[in-house]
């Protein structure tokens, strides 16, 4: 009985954890709370800022998009959400999922 309770507690804990990864679709910042320092970008994907001292998680790359943010790495469009395409960001670099049609700039 004790073993069953421990397994149930562990399974419940794993389900509650549900870590968010870069590039997951979102609607609000809370949707990205599983990603350390993550937020929901205007493109409605989870991301976070990055630098040499704060590298991106696995399967993402730090890309300059007006500020340096983590974006999902890819080898073709099938690895990206709808509305995104796999694009090279530098010479010989792996591709990242970028909006196929970029958003209009935010007015100041």
Helices (H), 1-108: 2-17
- The total number of structural domains in the chain stands at 1
Q: pLDDT: is 8 or 70 the higher one?
A: 70
d(CA 56, CA 71): 8
Please indicate, yes or no, if residue 36 is contained in any of the structural domains: yes
Residue 44 in any domain: the answer is yes
For residue 10, tell me if it sits in a domain: no
43 found inside a domain:
yes
- Residue 2 has a pLDDT of 43
Residues 30-43 pLDDT 10s:
999 999 999 999 99
pLDDT tens digits, 31-85: 999 999 999 999 999 999 999 999 999 999 999 988 999 999 999 999 999 999 9
Distances (CA, A) of 35 to 17, 59, 70, 87: 11, 13, 11, 23
Specify the pLDDT at position 103: 75
User: Could you tell me the residue range of the domain that residue 45 belongs to?
Assistant: 19-99
Q: Give domain status of residue 11, yes or no.
A: no
Spatial distance between the Cα atoms of 34 and 17, rounded to a whole number of angstroms: 7
pTM given for the model = 0.75
For residue 31, is it within any domain? yes
Do 56 and 68 touch, CB atoms closer than 8 A?
Answer: no
Inside any domain, residue 1 = no
């Amino acid at each position: 009985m004790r073993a069953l309770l421990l397994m149930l507690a562990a399974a419940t804990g794993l389900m509650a954890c549900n870590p968010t990864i870069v590039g997951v679709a979102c609607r609000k910042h809370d949707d990205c709370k599983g990603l350390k320092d993550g937020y929901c970008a205007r493109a409605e994907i989870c991301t976070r800022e990055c630098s040499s001292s704060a590298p991106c998680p696995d399967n993402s790359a730090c890309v300059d998009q007006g500020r340096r943010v983590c974006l999902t790495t890819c080898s073709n469009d099938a690895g990206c959400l709808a509305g995104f395409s796999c694009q090279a960001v530098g010479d010989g670099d792996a591709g990242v999922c970028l909006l196929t049609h970029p958003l209009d700039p935010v007015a100041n």
